[in-house]
Structure 1
Amino acid sequence: MGPADPSWAGLYRLGGLSAALFVLLVVIPVTLVFAAPAPPVDGRALLPYIAAHKTVYLIELVCFVGLSVPALVVFTAVSVALKDASRSMAAVGGLIGVASEVIALALGSSPQSLHGGLVVLSNSYAAARTDAERAGIVSAADALIAATNAVSWAGILTATGILLLSLAMRKGSFGRAVPVLGVLTGALGIVSEALRPMIGPAYLVYGLLLPAWFALAGWNLHGLGRRGTP
């Protein structure tokens, strides 16, 4: 790994820590699959599901939405680390990556069927006294579920950012494994996010590659931070 600019050592170390946090926020909800089944995609089934598994549902929601925060830092740190390798590619890749996470945070939702508004609707559904009230709440839930589980432009942009940054890494100090994994992750991610409603469990391949890339990128950022420390 090449020498790092000491003035950015703090950002590199923070990027490494953020990558570790990103991976942790992926692992936590994945392990919760053993505590509760995946959320349904039908409003009438999902609302009682949330009431019965509210803690698990909220943890999954917070983790999958919250991981955008450390991802912001990682994209920024990687972009800065590549500024002398491929300035234009690093700038565009970093900008797209950061924008994707800002969009994800603004949406505040994540497939499958994870949305804060659905928690409110679940409470209303439990308190409803008539079939007409429940039917109206179910219709509102179905609309939110459809929007949440639709093709995610934020996800497509995240994969695009990874692809561009990984292409820039070929001339940088991230070794060989990270750019190769990143190109594969980015290319597969674009397709997987675009076709997510149709590919079903096949999305898991990208779902495993994504935290792997963040882990390797974070490890390299940590090394850059240590080497750049005066």
Structure 2
Amino acid sequence: MTVRKARTNLPSVNRAEPAGLDPSWAPLYRAGALSALVFVLLVLVPVVLVFAAPIPPTDGRALLEYIDAHRFVYLTELVCFVGLSVPALVVFAALAVALKGVNKSMAAIGGLFGIASETIALALGSSPQSLNGGLVVLADSYAATSSGAERASLVSAADALIAATNAVSWAGVLTAAAILVLSLTMRTGHVGRVVATLGVVTGAAGIVAETLRPMIGSGYAIYGLLLPVWFALVGWKLRQLGRRRTS
């Protein structure tokens, strides 16, 4: 009788929950799912704007003239591409927490890579599509002056900013590394093998694309297409995790 009574006092286990998942983090998972949706929308807006205006050129003089002629489009693209780092921060945090029961070390490393990369991207305030807030200031000065010498100086400054913006992005490399590490952890977790496999491909492709970005040109678009797809699928998985209730 004593043994039977002791057994009945044992805490119940919610067998409906996947192993390693802590449903008390459900609000964070839901925030991650919403953030993933915002991330995808911020990627789609500039794609739609491509049909409203040409792609920003990479030559200093041409880009300054482009910004003056298409200010709204340029600023919108700049805000979208730089601003998507904010929802990405939440997604990486939520995914790292969701995977901590699978492998705490890998989840922590992947989460730190992701959060660090997006923090750096926000601090830099630029994007590899020749988007940089400093170029807007240079464009204003370029349009306000008619001096050939001053305009030449502004063009030189713009060329330097463009070169720095389109150089190897270590923030981008860290983002891809975070996706790779977290996706490798997913393969033995409860997020799903399809998302994990896509993440491994996306992360590996991203490391190569970001490292060789100055040389691969339009080849970078492959990674650019994989990235929002991965975020969308991760958002869907986080939404499912967020709907689970604590027992």
Same fold (TM > 0.5): yes
CA distance in 2, matches of 1:177, 1:6: 22
Q: How does 1:65-214 map to 2 (within 5 A)?
A: 65-214=82-231
Q: How many residues align?
A: 230
> Quick check: 1:33 aligned with 2:64?
no
Match of 2:240 in 1: 223
CA distance in 2, matches of 1:197, 1:146: 9
Q: Larger deviation: 123-132 or 1-10?
A: 1-10
Q: Tell me which of 7, 11, 18 is aligned to 1:2.
A: 18
Instruction: Measure how far apart 1:200 and its partner are.
Output: 1.2
Identity of aligned residues (%): 72
Structure whose residues are more often helix by fraction: 1
Q: Report if the CA contact (8 A) 1:5-1:228 is conserved.
A: no
Q: Greater Rg, structure 1 or structure 2?
A: 2
CA distance in 1, matches of 2:101, 2:22: 10
Give the SS at the match of 2:28: helix
Give the SS at the match of 1:37: coil
CA distance in 2, matches of 1:219, 1:195: 31
Point out which structure has higher relative CO (alpha carbons under 8 A, 6+ apart).
1
Question: Which letter does structure 2 place at the counterpart of 1:101?
Answer: E
Q: Report if the CA contact (8 A) 2:183-2:195 is conserved.
A: yes
Instruction: Measure how far apart 1:180 and its partner are.
Output: 0.2
CA distance in 1, matches of 2:246, 2:52: 43
**Structure 1, unpaired ranges of 5+:** none
Give the SS at the match of 2:243: helix
Q: TM-score, normalised by structure 1?
A: 0.97
Q: Larger deviation: 71-80 or 167-176?
A: 167-176
Question: Which letter does structure 2 place at the counterpart of 1:85?
Answer: V
